[in-house]
């Protein structure tokens, strides 16, 4: 089974209004399930937005608090859910993306490696230490969050070392840099010959306007699905066998020269 139906929950996040955001997320999760989607992506920090000065107050350990509610929503709707919220991890708070399967079981955890200084993440959050790749029923997937998109090394590692065919990205990417968002998503798909699926937030959250433009991109770099700048739920079906076909047609991984890249 290589075909997967994915929904993108492009939310208008309300800063620091956890219950309102949870209600929106649960509504979108339920709607995605009614479309027979296998997986729904939520944006980065979908439950709180960037209220990082109060991050410790929101943070919960895995399996508790908002993580537990997210697992219950996945289980109740029989749909896998991916998105990031604030996690209490030892004495740190992490921007943590989780993948709960359709039974509500926690299958993947990714803590944001690259912290975004323009939003003061480095002042309030701990750095993630390692990439996360998952064996899903449809193929291997690499997990990432927003600013990670600017670091092609992470995605190359997922594609070459880990054999990922699908990149999952949750984000709060501002409208002022929407052209970067679009260009980088397409570039990551083309250079790694993989599907890129990205859910962004939209609208004004605490004085920052977020871009929307959640997207599904195929291994040729073709945009299969793209939201506008308003709240929306979009759904697309993809076939991960297409990755193998593209990689065979233009075998860029076989033609890489790591030995040459290190020479001066």
As annotated, the active-site residues are 44, 112, 146
Residue with tokens 């399930």: 33
Q: Residue 153 has which token pair?
A: 């090394």
Nearest to 116 by CA among 62, 67, 59, 177: 177
Are 18 and 210 contacting, i.e. CB atoms less than 8 angstroms apart?
no
Are 133 and 170 contacting, i.e. CB atoms less than 8 angstroms apart?
no
By 3-state DSSP, what share of the chain in percent is helix, strand and coil, each rounded to 5?
Answer: 35, 30, 35
Are 179 and 209 contacting, i.e. CB atoms less than 8 angstroms apart?
no
Q: How far is the C-alpha of 253 from the C-alpha of 19, rounded, in Å?
A: 46
């Amino acid at each position: 089974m290589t075909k997967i139906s994915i929904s993108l929950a492009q939310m208008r996040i309300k800063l620091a209004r956890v219950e309102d955001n949870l209600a929106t997320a649960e509504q979108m999760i339920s709607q995605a399930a009614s479309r027979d989607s296998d997986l729904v992506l939520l944006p980065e920090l979908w439950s709180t937005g960037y209220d990082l000065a109060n991050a410790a107050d929101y943070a919960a350990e895995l399996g508790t608090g908002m993580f537990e509610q997210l697992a219950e929503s996945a289980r109740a709707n029989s749909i896998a859910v991916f998105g990031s919220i604030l996690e209490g991890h030892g004495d740190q708070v992490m921007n943590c993306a989780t993948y709960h399967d359709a039974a509500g079981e926690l299958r993947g955890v990714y803590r944001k490696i690259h912290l975004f200084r323009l939003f003061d993440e480095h002042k309030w959050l701990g750095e993630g230490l390692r990439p996360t790749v998952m064996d899903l029923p449809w193929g291997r997937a690499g997990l990432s969050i927003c600013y990670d998109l600017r670091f092609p090394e992470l995605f190359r590692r997922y594609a070459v070392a880990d054999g990922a065919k699908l990149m999952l990205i949750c984000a709060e990417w501002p409208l002022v840099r929407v052209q970067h968002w679009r260009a980088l998503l397409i570039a990551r798909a083309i250079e790694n010959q993989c599907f890129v699926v990205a859910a962004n937030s939209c609208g004004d959250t605490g004085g920052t306007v977020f871009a929307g433009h959640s997207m599904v991109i195929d291994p040729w770099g073709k945009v299969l699905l793209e939201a506008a700048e308003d709240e929306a739920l979009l759904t697309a079906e993809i076939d991960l066998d297409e990755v193998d076909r593209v990689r065979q047609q233009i075998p860029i991984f076989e033609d890489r020269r790591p030995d040459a890249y290190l020479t001066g």
